[in-house]
Structure 1
Amino acid sequence: MARGIVVTSLVDAVVEDLRTLVVTGTLAPGTPLTELDVATRYDVARASARAAIERLTAEKVLVRNNHKTARVVELGPDDVRDIYRTRTYLESEVLRRLADERRVPESARQANAEIAALWARGSYAVVEPDMRFHTSLIDALGSTRTSAMYHSLAFEVKLCMAQLQGRQRLSPEIIVAEHARLLDLIAAGDADGAARMLDEHLARARELLAESLGGEAGPQAIVPSSAIPV
């Protein structure tokens, strides 16, 4: 009997496109997604659609309880706080290591320059370069395992940021200023200062997003940025 084989590259393409649709909000939180939906949307076999849904469920892009229809993940205030605190723990230690060596990746400067250019045009669509800024710092450590751990959070972080972007709660002006300050502190070898700046930077986003998703914002949401002179 011939064995059914799912073409991995096709499944990869479907998975990547569905991720993009979720991050951009084209597939809103809570949207149901069946094998038939996916097979029809991409004109693929049900086996390929099933494999894509299983991948996305494993990655927590989709959720499925008790074998029911998979749905686009819905993040709440507690989810956001857990994601951002985990992110802070990991990024903080990496920034300390980079500051010890005064190592500033050029890719981080380039990503921040892109955010500044977008803001100059009045755009809040900074999720991709913002994530590239932070990821480039993690990757600069040169640890494949640390990068893998961080990248495992990447989708959930992007989803959080996309939800904030849609509400225009985070100012790209503040993002650019705080990113620049982080790089200056790393270049100066100020590990403690870089860690404090990161905590301020991520805590503001964390609390603004938690509030946007129905929670009560902590005091960090309204603290003026220390990277912008009064």
Structure 2
Amino acid sequence: MARSFGQAEGTDRIIRRKLSDEVLDRLRSMIRSGELRPGDAMPSERALMDRFGVGRPAVREALQSLHQQGLISISHGERTRVQPIDATTVLARSDDVARMLLDLVPANRQHLKEARRMFELGLVRLAAERATAVDVADLRAAIDEQTAQMAGDPVPFIKADMAFHARIAAISDNPIITAASQAMLRWLFEYHTALLHWSGREAVTLADHAAIVDAIEAHDADGAVQAMLDHLDRSRDALAPMDQGRAPPPERTQPK
């Protein structure tokens, strides 16, 4: 049975787009194709106006959109240039939106912790399989740095903690995995600040980290996963009552 003309109206409708959106698509295509490479200066506004047959407002709006997306840098008095694109810069640009998501929907904090748990267990298994002597030395140096930050302001201690976990992720030699791990740590940062600063907590964290490195150095993948699991479970148990507005439980004795 032939379809009537009216049936096509809902799917075939032509949508008018802003000129700046068309220019934006063309510029992104130039970057994707390699016509414009990281570090290259962008063509002048006049050159883009002539190339695309549009006015200056459309070009400027498209350039501002590229800048907001992190694809180009716009600095007063300097040429606009194409930015290097990697997983770290892409995920870093989502930090503010991610924190807003965690604030507006508190249940997402638990979802993020669950995602991080699965991620960390996979990462530490990979680290135990691939770690070199240099990797192990770097991890032990990270523990030493964290130990040096035990007293005083908790922020340096927590940043050293994040650096330790980021270094485990780096052993994967996978830039997307490393960037995703760093992003999750950043998104959790403000929610872990109070947790890691409870009196006596620092010593447990350091002992956990040392056990993880021992297993990585021994290339004991199962042992490394178990050590990380114990570490994350202790953090989860301490954080749960804080999420519910209660004080954290007393520290448990470090398992033998």
**Shorter-normalised TM range:** 0.5 to 0.7
- Asked if residue 128 in structure 1 is aligned to residue 159 in structure 2, the reply is yes
What residue number does 1:89 align with? 118
Instruction: Give CA deviations for 1:138-163 in whole Å, capped at 9, x if unaligned.
Output: 01110122223323312222122123
What is the CA–CA distance in structure 2 between the aligned matches of 1:137 and 1:189, rounded to whole Å? Answer: 13
Which residue among 203, 215, 218 is the counterpart of 1:173? 203
Question: Larger relative CO (CA 8 A, sep 6+): 1 or 2?
Answer: 1
Which residue identity lines up with residue 94 of structure 1 in the other structure?
A: L
Where in structure 2 are the equivalents of 1:99-178 lying within 5 Å? 99-103=128-132, 105=135, 106-119=137-150, 121=151, 123-125=153-155, 126-165=157-196, 168=198, 171-178=201-208
The 8 Å contact of residues 94 and 141 in structure 1, kept in 2 or not, is answered as yes
1:201–1:84 distance in 2 versus 1, CA, 3 Å: same
The 8 Å contact of residues 127 and 169 in structure 2, kept in 1 or not, is answered as no
Which residue among 215, 223, 227 is the counterpart of 1:185? 215
The 8 Å contact of residues 102 and 189 in structure 1, kept in 2 or not, is answered as yes
Which residue identity lines up with residue 142 of structure 2 in the other structure?
A: A
1:171–1:101 distance in 2 versus 1, CA, 3 Å: same
Counterpart of 1:61 in 2: which secondary structure?
helix
What is the CA–CA distance in structure 2 between the aligned matches of 1:202 and 1:74, rounded to whole Å? Answer: 25
Unaligned runs of 5+ in 2: 1-55, 71-92
* The structure with more radius of gyration: 2
What is the CA–CA distance in structure 1 between the aligned matches of 2:124 and 2:171, rounded to whole Å? Answer: 10
Counterpart of 2:219 in 1: which secondary structure?
coil
Q: TM-score, normalised by structure 1?
A: 0.62
Aligned length: 173
* Identical residues among aligned pairs (%): 21
What is the CA–CA distance in structure 1 between the aligned matches of 2:108 and 2:247, rounded to whole Å? Answer: 14
What residue number does 1:22 align with? none
What is the CA–CA distance in structure 1 between the aligned matches of 2:131 and 2:147, rounded to whole Å? Answer: 24
Q: What is the CA distance between 1:96 and its match in structure 2?
A: 1.4
Counterpart of 1:178 in 2: which secondary structure?
helix
Q: What is the CA distance between 1:174 and its match in structure 2?
A: 1.0
What residue number does 2:100 align with? 62
What is the CA–CA distance in structure 1 between the aligned matches of 2:234 and 2:171, rounded to whole Å? Answer: 25
The 8 Å contact of residues 169 and 177 in structure 2, kept in 1 or not, is answered as yes
Runs of 4+ residues deviating >3 angstroms? 4-12, 55-59, 78-81, 101-104, 121-125, 215-219
The 8 Å contact of residues 103 and 186 in structure 1, kept in 2 or not, is answered as no
What is the CA–CA distance in structure 2 between the aligned matches of 1:200 and 1:92, rounded to whole Å? Answer: 11
Q: TM-score, normalised by structure 2?
A: 0.56
The 8 Å contact of residues 138 and 147 in structure 1, kept in 2 or not, is answered as yes
